[in-house]
Structure 1
Amino acid sequence: MEPLTSRRRFLTGATVGATAGLAGFARRSRAGEPAAANALDAIDRVPNAVGLETLVDGLRMPLALEFAPGSDRRYVADRGGRIYVHESDGLREEPLLDLRETIVTGGERGLLGMTLQPNFAENRRLFVHFSASRQSGTPADFDHTGILASFRATDDGRRVRRDTGRVVLEIPQPADFHNGGDLAFGPDGFLYVSIGTGGGGGGGGQDVTTDFLGSILRLDVDDRTADRAYAVPDDNPLVGRAGFDEYYAWGFRNPWRLSFDDGDCFVADVGENDYEEVNRLEKGGNYGWNVREGTHCYREETCPDRAAERDGGGEPFHDPIIEYPHPPTESAVSGVSVIGGYVYRGSTLPELEGAYVFGDFLPEGRLFAATRPDDGDELWSSTVLEIDGGTTLERLLSFGRDDEGEVYALGMGTGGGGVFRVVPIA
């Protein structure tokens, strides 16, 4: 392994005035069926408004938040290339890791993802995903190379030793946008990596034999092979079939933020023309891009319900669990670029228990919440959480969740970038 030394564009200034509704209100069941009533009861319990309590301020574009186990310490990754350390007495001046001399920025490039290995308390290992200049093997007409890398922190958890940096995987990227980039460990101990299609409207998503674009990868980073800095789990869906063994699911456009809860993995996929979506990840799932956008055809009046035949047959497309439209619309849950969140499991807002809290890049004074239907085939019911109080967000970039199940919004307000805990209205 070599050391590290060797739509519209997301987060680049979209200005769309979102009106207010629907992110996939549940498709109504027939009259009298209890499933619909129960789903509506769950959404009715969600509060109409929440507050935001500032945890960290003075940042630029915070994109990832991790909580160090066994300590009062948080790590905040900023797209500019630094990972900051926040403790009980505030933000430390010296960052955990500074990649500014290594990464490239501009467009949507930069430090895009960060996660701690589940046994971080013992091995101090963390993983980052960032944009770098074109590496050997990246096509000349491609824009840059995405790098998945690992580091080890010092025993006190306040610094990373740069000499521990190792490249795990390189992902050639054709453009400086739609790069995905989020990272998360699943309950199976494997690392899940989100990769965007890296291009303009219509590109990528369905070809699993040429590159990693438009996918979620699953890697075993506790092991390695002779030619890789990781191993491929034996039950990855394309092992022994046509396509890259690293694939876990595909058919995504720009999977921006993924999270786990009780065995479920939620992947928010930024749309192109008309709809935003959140998907529940399934092994071998094809989520439809660039044939479908959400539950709708993309650029065609009619479209198939399954992929083109490949290796013995085309897999069916998976519907999202949440879908919402772009403005102008009369729907309250609407926007321009979905920002994936977390299922709430905290205690300060019991009305949100079990609800998936998420939002849009242009929040317009809102977050969103969605509740699970009794019928697993239905879209989740979604509603607006008005942001009340003195703290507002002009841009929403990401979410985090601590060990107690409390949810945090990461974004930019009038005073710059910060991390904000979602709390009851004071």
Structure 2
Amino acid sequence: MARLNPFGIVLALIALAIPAAAEDVPRIKLEKVVQLDKPVEVRHDPAGRLFMVEQTGRALMFENGKVVEEPYLDLSEKVYVAFECGLLGIAFHPKFQSNGLLYASYTTGQLKPGEKEPAVRSVVSEFKVDPKARRVDLATERVVFTLDQPFPNHNGGQIQFGPDGLMYFGFGDGGKGNDTLNAGQDPATWLGKILRIDPTPDPVAKTAYTVPKDNPFVGKEGWKPEIWALGQRNPWRFSFDRQTGDLWAADVGQDIWEEVNLIVKGGNYGWRIREGSHDLWPATPTTTPLIDPVFEYYHDRRAASITGGYVYRGKKIPALQGWYVCGDYSYGTLFGFKYDGKKLSGSGVIVNPQTADRAAGQRPTQPSGFGEDIDGELYMCDINGWVYRIVAP
């Protein structure tokens, strides 16, 4: 099977057996901010207002050091919450200050007669809101995109607007294990992909969104034109580097390897042919070359499920400048790496939950998401309740 590594080298990091010198890994501290109900994301609008998203269905405004009591967005009566389902992300349109468009990614579920698990549907919706308003009117909802999920896990759920002003969002391979549908490599499904659309309705095609003409597979027979990148198992969290525009996606592994990929137009990141950079089912058919992860680590007693983060571009932690920070959902370990455009210039464990100070609030349990404020300072969500601010030690 052909492999493509645009960075010139195959890069692997073995969890907690780090080749980089210890002094190369910046030190940080986790500062408790607020305790919520299953927080999964921190976002800000173009004006700088900060919002925190709960998997259970609410997006809450955070100001003056506390959460505003009335929810900014409350979908708790609509979302199905179980496994990896719920309210999974929000995103403000780049022109939110003038058009007032807010987007939410969530799941719905309906239990059919005789079935033990509900039929799950992923939904991306648009809401119209006054940019200065403190609450979203649910009556303004316009459904932009839906996808019926075969299983209630591997839903993805991240929404991000890129530097090009277009919407990127991702879905996992459909769930269960082993990608039995071969969704990651199937060009005829949105499952196992990162998609790119313009959420503006297309009056000609009579669709709720428009497919950008420069998407890599537009007009290619058998391919969904919304596909931007393929070969994903579950891109639970991805983000754009606000300085370089690079798209970084963490893909949750199956049995052995967790990975972070630099997503490029039309890129194929290997699942289910490979897990990370390692062959899994190499006989799986594909028509595009495979791209190696920039960063990966293996499962042991301290790692098992990656949660993607952000490249730090704030000013308060100079040593962390340019480092990508992510976490492991199963054990709480925070990893970091620095990429110079060709190779890793540093990598390692930034917070080890086995040695972190519990009393000081520096011991994460299950990192479920990250976020940044308008100044580029980072936050981390722990599914067990706390939202942390990442600060200098």
TM-score computed with the length of structure 2 as normaliser:
0.86
- Structure 1 pair 356/78, CA: closer, same or farther in 2 (3 Å)? same
Cα distance, 1:380 vs structure 2: 6.6
- Structure 1 pair 21/423, CA: closer, same or farther in 2 (3 Å)? farther
Is structure 2 residue 292 aligned with structure 1 residue 319? yes
Cα distance, 1:76 vs structure 2: 1.1
State the distance in 2 between where 1:100 and 1:403 align. 27
2:199 paired residue number: 221
- Residues 49-198 of structure 1 mapped to structure 2, 5 A cutoff: 49-57=27-35, 59-71=36-48, 73-133=49-109, 143-198=119-174
State the distance in 2 between where 1:277 and 1:381 align. 16
Aligned partners of 1:24 and 1:382 also within 8 Å: no
State the distance in 2 between where 1:166 and 1:69 align. 21
Aligned partners of 1:113 and 1:181 also within 8 Å: yes
1:271 paired residue number: 253
Cα distance, 1:152 vs structure 2: 2.1
Aligned partners of 1:23 and 1:322 also within 8 Å: no
- 3-state secondary structure, aligned to 1:231: coil
- Residue type at the aligned position of 1:222: T
1:15 paired residue number: none
Cα distance, 1:155 vs structure 2: 4.1
State the distance in 2 between where 1:353 and 1:420 align. 19
Cα distance, 1:25 vs structure 2: 5.9
State the distance in 1 between where 2:296 and 2:103 align. 30
Deviations 1:24-56 (A, max 9, x none): 967xxxxxxxxxxxxx58x84332x32112222
2:318 paired residue number: 350
Aligned partners of 1:337 and 1:362 also within 8 Å: yes
Cα distance, 1:77 vs structure 2: 1.2
1:292 paired residue number: 274
- Residue type at the aligned position of 1:265: L
1:250 paired residue number: 230
- 3-state secondary structure, aligned to 1:345: coil
2:336 paired residue number: 369
- Structure 1 pair 167/353, CA: closer, same or farther in 2 (3 Å)? same
1:308 paired residue number: 285
Deviations 1:342-366 (A, max 9, x none): 00111121011111011110344x3
1:11 paired residue number: none
Aligned partners of 2:24 and 2:346 also within 8 Å: no
Deviations 1:378-405 (A, max 9, x none): 4674201126551122111000012211
Cα distance, 1:82 vs structure 2: 0.9
State the distance in 2 between where 1:236 and 1:134 align. 33
Deviations 1:82-140 (A, max 9, x none): 111111152111101111211112221111121111122222211111111369xxxxx
Cα distance, 1:187 vs structure 2: 0.2
State the distance in 2 between where 1:235 and 1:394 align. 42
- Residue type at the aligned position of 1:372: Y
Aligned partners of 1:197 and 1:205 also within 8 Å: yes
- Structure 1 pair 248/25, CA: closer, same or farther in 2 (3 Å)? farther
- Structure 1 pair 355/217, CA: closer, same or farther in 2 (3 Å)? same
State the distance in 1 between where 2:349 and 2:89 align. 27
Long gaps (5+) in structure 1: 1-19, 27-39, 136-140, 329-333
- 3-state secondary structure, aligned to 1:84: strand
Cα distance, 1:220 vs structure 2: 0.7
Long gaps (5+) in structure 2: 1-12, 112-116
Aligned partners of 2:338 and 2:344 also within 8 Å: no
State the distance in 2 between where 1:216 and 1:23 align. 30
Aligned partners of 1:124 and 1:152 also within 8 Å: yes
Cα distance, 1:409 vs structure 2: 0.6
State the distance in 1 between where 2:23 and 2:305 align. 25
Aligned partners of 2:96 and 2:131 also within 8 Å: no
- Structure 1 pair 97/24, CA: closer, same or farther in 2 (3 Å)? farther
Aligned length: 363
2:10 paired residue number: none
Cα distance, 1:157 vs structure 2: 3.0
Aligned partners of 1:142 and 1:174 also within 8 Å: no
Aligned partners of 1:45 and 1:351 also within 8 Å: no
State the distance in 2 between where 1:153 and 1:89 align. 24
Q: 1:398 aligns with which of 369, 373, 392?
A: 369
